[in-house]
């Protein structure tokens, strides 16, 4: 499944699903975010129907970042049925990203 790019317009609709939704809060200028980006894309291709992978550019979607208390980036937040169920701050490797999804599948 392709990685979705979320805005305030499609955020709630995307979260209201019974599979985990992993959201990568990032910024274009952030070094660790640039390293994490290709990993997120790879996971998105591999997980199939187990979950949804999405990204939010915190510079363009400041309200969403503030709403979820994102103070450092990259921050990965996992949602299920519209509610936050897990969170990780900083760069993490592919296996940890996959386990965040599978833990809530």
Q: Which domain holds residue 60?
A: 4-103
Interval 29-42: pLDDT, tens: 999 999 999 999 99
Q: How many domains does the chain have?
A: 1
Active site residues: 30, 33
Q: Is the pTM of this model over 0.85?
A: yes
* Domain of residue 36, CATH code: 3.40.30.10
What pairing do the DSSP bridges indicate for beta strands 21-26 and 75-80? antiparallel
* DSSP code of residue 85: E
Can you list the residues of the chain whose pLDDT is less than 70? 1
Q: Write down how long the chain is.
A: 105
Walk across the sheet containing 75-80 and list its strands.
4-5, 52-57, 21-26, 75-80, 83-89
Q: What is the pLDDT of residue 1?
A: 65
DSSP-assigned letters across all residues of 31-63:
HHHHHHHHHHHHHHHHSGGG-EEEEEETTT-HH
């Amino acid at each position: 499944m392709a990685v979705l790019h979320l805005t305030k317009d499609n955020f709630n609709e995307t979260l209201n699903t019974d599979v985990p939704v992993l959201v990568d809060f990032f910024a274009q200028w952030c070094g660790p975010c640039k390293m994490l980006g290709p990993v997120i894309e790879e996971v998105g291709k591999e997980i199939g129907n187990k979950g949804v992978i999405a990204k939010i550019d915190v510079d363009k979607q400041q309200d969403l970042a503030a709403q979820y208390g994102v103070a450092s980036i990259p921050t990965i937040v996992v949602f299920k049925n519209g509610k936050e169920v897990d969170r990780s701050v900083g760069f993490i490797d592919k296996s940890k990203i996959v386990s965040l999804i599978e833990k809530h599948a």
